[in-house]
């Protein structure tokens, strides 16, 4: 078992780019387990501390008990550009059943375009045309999964629909790989099917999923960082003010080692991915768990923490299900009256949930597309997909990979609270360079097919509500992506 695998088996994540050469993994793990404060992430400084036989964890911010801001360190003064690719404005029109039909028709047509050029689907036939065929015919079609049934014998019978009709498809237990794929099917996703017609079923020989292409990793020309946080939950009795003060003080250059201050100077983008505040009346009896019961005051206090951040740092906000607007997705940007102090922050962009932005663009480089989603649907898939049941709530990056393969962030109708729009905002048609989410309050990250998948941590300890939902928060850990190397660096503000 290698170093990373041994650390993972003990519950530790290992930062990308860590040099663990000439480190005995068993001795290192014993060293870590003997620390008074156990780390969540193995970073280079912890490795160096082991080599020097001097515990580092918990000391990466030597001044982290001080909230006074010292003079900011000198930074490069060029303001980095943020280009909004997709953001959805509030549409308050009265909805009808026709809106739901248009919403799913838009999904089907766009997903069909992603599939119809795949091998085996170039001559895909409509379901109505297949239903009219007699005898045995080799065919292919594209449809939305309406129903999934597993028989007592382990066979799968799946009902597909398209705008022309319905068809039943059959996967027998002899098709071992297909059975495994069926176990990950979810309602309302759009898939391609290749098979042969029979009396009552289309017998499947191949299932085709939209999947993201396996692109090479894109690297930026400048050594700079994008920083990602979510779920600060200001106003909650379980909000961690000291951790958040440590974080914002570090961004200003007010604490940390010389190396960490140098890293802070290179942070050009700060993403806050929803649940800026805890809200009011979000769940039953919430008022007993609030230190600030006024929603206007919650946003005011949240913004006070971010005042005085470097002028050349771009702030990008999206809302979450605790913020003061509708919980149905897509959520529009924060309201300028309720969250007025947020709008007054320097270089702030308030976008919808979900949204897509481009960052890091230069004259000879087209930048990185970042898909931002608070992550409400993640709980559903973590608790309903067999391969995610034992890991999903603690491994948001695994849920992200699963949904990238679907090319949709909330394919199942009941996985999120959805308001039907003319365009389905959850479709991942243009492949992003970074997919960043929050909501699970758990840090996780991986590189998948050239995409940084990132689940942020939080600044709120375990609440009674989170406990009911199965969350296991790890507050105070902040991930940064180096846009030149695409490595993830974890900062500890506990």
DSSP line for 25-53:
HHHHHHHHHTSSS--SEE-HHHHHHHHTT
Q: Cα–Cα distance between 299 and 339 in angstroms, integer? A: 6
- Residue 368 contacts residue 346 (beta carbons within 8 Å): no
Task: Outline which parts of the chain fall under CATH 2.40.50.140.
Answer: 116-208
Torsion sign over Cα 220, 371, 43, 266: positive
Q: Cα–Cα distance between 13 and 20 in angstroms, integer? A: 13
pLDDT at 52: 62
- Residue 119 contacts residue 440 (beta carbons within 8 Å): no
pLDDT at 69: 38
pLDDT at 65: 31
Task: Outline which parts of the chain fall under CATH 3.60.21.50.
Answer: 82-92+224-492
pLDDT in tens, the chain (494 residues): 677 767 766 667 777 667 776 677 777 777 777 675 667 678 777 787 776 653 333 333 333 333 333 444 445 556 568 999 999 988 888 889 999 999 999 999 999 999 998 888 988 999 999 988 888 899 999 999 999 999 999 999 999 999 999 999 999 999 999 999 999 999 999 999 999 998 788 999 999 999 999 999 999 999 999 999 999 999 999 999 999 999 999 999 988 889 999 999 999 999 999 999 999 988 888 888 899 999 999 999 999 999 999 988 999 999 999 999 999 999 999 999 999 999 999 889 999 999 999 999 998 999 999 999 999 999 999 999 999 998 888 999 999 999 999 999 999 999 999 999 989 999 999 999 999 999 999 999 999 999 999 999 999 997 777 777 777 888 999 999 999 999 999 999 98
pLDDT at 349: 94
The architecture (CATH level 2) of 82-92+224-492 comes to 4-Layer Sandwich (3.60)
Burial of 312: CB neighbours in 10 Å, binned 0-12, 13-18, 19+? middle
CA distances from 73 to 124, 263, 265, 309 (A): 60, 11, 7, 11
pLDDT at 37: 62
Q: Which residues pair with 435 in a beta bridge?
A: 371, 453
pLDDT at 226: 97
Q: Which residues pair with 202 in a beta bridge?
A: 169, 197
pLDDT at 489: 95
| CATH superfamily entry for domain 116-208 | Nucleic acid-binding proteins (2.40.50.140)
């Amino acid at each position: 078992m290698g170093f990373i695998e041994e650390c993972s088996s003990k519950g530790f994540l290992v930062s990308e780019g860590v040099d663990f050469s000439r480190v005995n993994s068993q001795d290192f793990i014993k060293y870590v387990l003997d620390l008074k404060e156990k780390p969540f992430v193995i970073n280079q400084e912890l490795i160096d501390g082991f080599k020097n036989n001097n515990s580092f964890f918990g000391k990466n911010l030597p001044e982290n008990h001080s909230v006074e801001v010292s003079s900011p360190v000198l930074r490069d003064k060029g303001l980095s550009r943020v280009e909004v690719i997709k953001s959805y404005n509030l549409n308050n029109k009265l909805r009808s059943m026709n809106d739901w039909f248009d919403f799913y028709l838009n999904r089907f047509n766009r997903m069909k375009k992603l599939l119809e050029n795949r091998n085996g689907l170039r001559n895909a036939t409509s379901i109505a045309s297949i239903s009219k065929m007699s005898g045995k015919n080799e065919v292919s079609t594209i449809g939305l999964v309406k129903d999934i049934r597993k028989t007592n014998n382990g066979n799968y019978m799946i009902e597909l629909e398209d705008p022309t009709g319905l068809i039943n498809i059959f996967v027998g237990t002899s098709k071992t790989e297909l059975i495994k794929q069926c176990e990950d099917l979810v309602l309302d996703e759009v898939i391609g099917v290749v098979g042969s017609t029979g009396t009552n079923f289309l017998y499947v020989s191949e299932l085709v999923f939209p999947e993201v292409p396996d692109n090479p990793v894109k690297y930026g020309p400048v050594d700079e960082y994008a920083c990602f946080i979510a779920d600060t939950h200001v106003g909650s009795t379980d909000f961690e003010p000291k951790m958040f003060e440590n974080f914002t003080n570090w961004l200003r250059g007010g604490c940390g080692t010389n190396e960490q201050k140098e890293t802070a100077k290179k942070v050009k983008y700060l993403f806050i991915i929803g649940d800026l505040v805890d809200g009011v009346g979000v769940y039953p009896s919430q008022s007993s768990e609030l230190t600030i019961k006024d929603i206007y005051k919650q946003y005011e206090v949240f913004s006070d923490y971010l005042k005085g951040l470097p002028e050349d740092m771009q702030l990008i906000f999206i809302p979450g299900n605790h913020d003061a607007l509708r919980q149905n997705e897509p959520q529009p940007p924060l309201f300028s009256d309720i969250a007025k102090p947020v709008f007054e922050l320097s270089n702030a962009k308030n976008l919808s949930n979900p949204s897509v932005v481009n960052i890091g663009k230069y004259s000879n480089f087209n930048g990185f597309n970042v898909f931002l989603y608070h992550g409400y649907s993640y709980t559903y898939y973590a608790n309903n997909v067999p391969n995610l049941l034992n890991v999903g709530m603690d491994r948001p990056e695994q849920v992200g990979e699963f949904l990238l393969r679907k090319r949709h962030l909330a394919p199942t109708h009941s996985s999120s609270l959805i308001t039907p729009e003319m365009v389905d905002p959850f479709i991942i048609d243009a492949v992003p360079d970074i997919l960043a989410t929050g909501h699970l309050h758990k840090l996780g990250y991986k590189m998948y097919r050239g995409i940084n998948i990132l689940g942020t941590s939080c600044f709120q300890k375990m609440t009674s509500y989170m406990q009911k939902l199965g969350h296991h928060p790890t507050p105070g850990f902040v991930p940064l992506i180096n846009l030149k190397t695409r490595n993830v660096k974890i900062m500890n503000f506990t």
